[in-house]
Amino acid sequence: MPEFLLAAAGFVLAMVALGLVRILRGPEDGDRMMAAQLLGTGGIAALLLAAGGGLPAAADVALTLALLAAFASMAFAKSGVSPEAYDEPKPGEKE
């Protein structure tokens, strides 16, 4: 069973590494943020697999990483474009 968990953690980390490419080359800030969320989720999965493999402290690190990922997405949404930028002009108004 530990070999399977190690292989699964390796696969998750490989997918996260591919997500790093999107962080570096993402055309939009939203793409970069989604890739950062992938990084957080993949890291959490790898740490939980490590916790299942006999490293109990990894679960605490995974919970901390989950909180950081949630705060990062909230900060991104808070610093994003204001809602007025998405308002469409009403019929009869000039842009």
The answer to whether residue 81 sits within a structural domain is: no
The answer to whether residue 88 sits within a structural domain is: no
Instruction: Provide the domain limits for residue 51.
Output: 2-76
Residues 6+ apart with CB under 8 A from 76: 29, 33
Number of domains within the chain: 1
- pLDDT tens for each residue of 4-45: 877 887 888 888 888 888 888 878 888 888 888 888 888 888
To the nearest 10 degrees (0 to 180), the angle between helices 2-25 and 29-52 is 170
The answer to whether residue 85 sits within a structural domain is: no
To the nearest 10 degrees (0 to 180), the angle between helices 57-79 and 29-52 is 170
Share of the chain above pLDDT 90, in %: 0
The answer to whether residue 82 sits within a structural domain is: no
pTM: 0.65
What pLDDT score was predicted for residue 32?
Answer: 84
What pLDDT score was predicted for residue 51?
Answer: 80
Place 55 in a pLDDT band, splitting at 50, 70 and 90.
Answer: confident
